[in-house]
Amino acid sequence: MKTTIVLFSLTFWNILALAQQPFVANMDENKVGNFTLPNPLQKPDGSIIKNKKDWEKHRGYWLAQFQQTMYGKMPNKKLKQSSQLVSQTEILGGKAIQYIWTITFEGKHSVSVLGVLPNKSAKVPVFLGLNFCGNQTTSTDNRIPIFEKFVVCNEASQFKNNLGQAESRGAQASRWQFEKLIDAGYGSITVACGDFEEDLPTGYQNGIRTTLADQLGLKAEEWSGIGAWAWGLICMVDFLETIPQVDAKKIILHGHSRLGKAALWAAANDQRFAAIISNESGEGGAALTRRNYGENLWRITNSFPHWFLDSYKNYAYKENTLPFDQHILLSLLAPRPLYVASAMGDQWSDPRGEFLGAQQTEAVYQLYRKPGLGTVAFPGLNTPVGKQVRYHIREGKHDMTLYDWEQYINFARELVK
């Protein structure tokens, strides 16, 4: 009964939002219009930052702008974590070991962590990312428990009433490429985003914004779903620092779509991530908000109000009055390696806006003498460009594919030392 009520509420809410939609999304580059981006190096008094020391002092100003306007506050308290190794199994013909851990915060909220690490004694770098639909969707291994919380993943018979079924095992394994990573010498760590907060407007009620509110010292409305997922990723670094098989100084953070937004926000708030990958994170992620193309601020805040602060929706159709744009969020990741990727069949995420968001980080990366995208033109298909900041647009739809992973592995090999 509870699930039925939740589903009805979510469906009704989305239908109502779409019924009120006053526009048809612009998908014509000629109708984007003109806009002026805020300068990440300009202080409120108008002076310009000219060195990395001053930039690092100024980072807090930009973080506060995003916290106050868009994603909400981030907890500044470290919570007590306890972990339990649930299982440890050789897989992939002995090349890897599959781990399942349970992590509990303050004895009140638990999450299940899946790790696939090379079967060797040396510490290894790892790719870390949240998954949408439960750990069981990343692999066909039947020893991985079926995720029992709400998911937005109703593909055919694999999910029923937004709950995973046995058929969901391996449903999104192509997005994880565990064996490819193992063969390249990397491990992979993942947690279902719904273990921190379920992806629906009422998800905060059973998520960390409620269960750990007293311990974190924040009210649910002071932050957001994206904030909760980002906080979870930061906590995973705390956990991985305790795992002897993991080189915690070489954690490569990645995220696809809405979880790419969360990855960017996590990395902006925590410098311990060695490199960051945004895979088609779109509006509210790597794409410039001021561009009138594809999904826009009105649509995203009406369709997914729980991702952001309530106040963020007040900037709909007034995007030019925002105190920032997403290139500044990306700039907060400097000088670390950053990869932004798009897909030609995913125009909703505004590939050109994602490219421009990455390109506009150049001034900040130059403070560290790190080459970004430079003045390169928007590239052709399947042609990665850049150095410390990289970009590609590939063929295909909104997804995370083998082609993407091949580029990310090369990126990590070259830049994460």
Residues designated catalytic: 257, 398
What CA–CA distance (Å, rounded) separates 35 from 55?
Answer: 25
DSSP string, 154-210: --GGGEETTEE-GGGTTTTGGGT-HHHHHHTT-EEEEEEGGGT--SSTTGGGTSHHH
Task: Return the beta strands (E) in 236-301 as ranges.
Answer: 246-256, 275-279
Continuous segment of H or E residues that includes residue 390: strand 389-394
Q: Are 273 and 336 in contact (CB under 8 A)?
A: yes
What CA–CA distance (Å, rounded) separates 253 from 267?
Answer: 8
Instruction: For residue 335, say if its preceding peptide bond is cis, omega within 30 degrees of 0.
Output: yes
- DSSP state, residue 133: S
Phi, psi of 299 (to 5 degrees): -65, -45
The 10 Å Cβ neighbour count of residue 72 is 26
Continuous segment of H or E residues that includes residue 341: strand 338-343
Q: Is the C-alpha dihedral spanning 73, 275, 200, 325 positive or negative?
A: positive
What CA–CA distance (Å, rounded) separates 259 from 132?
Answer: 8
The 10 Å Cβ neighbour count of residue 395 is 11
What CA–CA distance (Å, rounded) separates 107 from 85?
Answer: 16
Q: Are 313 and 297 in contact (CB under 8 A)?
A: yes
Q: Are 318 and 375 in contact (CB under 8 A)?
A: no
What CA–CA distance (Å, rounded) separates 61 from 267?
Answer: 16
Buried b (16+ CB within 10 A) or exposed e, 44-67: eeeeebeebeebeebbeebbebbb
